[in-house]
Amino acid sequence: MKSSSKHFRFLSSILSLVFLLQSCSIYHNDSISLQQAEELNKDVRITTESGDKFKFKSIEEEDGDYFGLTRLKSKTSKELQKMGLIGRETGKLYAFGLEPLNIEKIQEKNKTVSTIGTVGLVITGIFVVIIIIAAITFNDGIFSPW
Task: Count CA within 13 A, CB hemisphere, residue 93.
Answer: 14
**pLDDT tens digits along 105-132:** 999 999 888 888 878 877 887 888 788 7
Through-space distance between the first and last CA atoms of the chain, rounded to whole angstroms: 14
Q: How far, in Å, CA of 17 to CA of 15, rounded?
A: 5
Per the document, the length of the chain is 146
Task: Count CA within 13 A, CB hemisphere, residue 58.
Answer: 10
Q: What angle do CA 90, 47, 50 make, to 5 degrees?
A: 120
**pLDDT tens digits along 76-91:** 999 999 999 988 998 8
Query: Residues of 93-127 as b/e, b for ≥16 C-beta within 10 angstroms?
Result: bbbbbbeebebeebbbbbeeebeebbeebeeebee
**pLDDT tens digits along 45-104:** 999 999 999 999 999 999 989 999 999 889 999 999 999 998 899 888 999 999 889 999
Per the prediction, the chain carries an average pLDDT of: 84
Other beta carbons less than 10 A from residue 68's beta carbon: 29
Q: How far, in Å, CA of 70 to CA of 133, rounded?
A: 41
Single-letter amino acid, residue 92: K
pTM tops 0.75, yes or no: no
Pairing state of beta strands 93-97 and 103-108? unpaired
Single-letter amino acid, residue 51: G
**pLDDT tens digits along 5-15:** 666 777 777 77
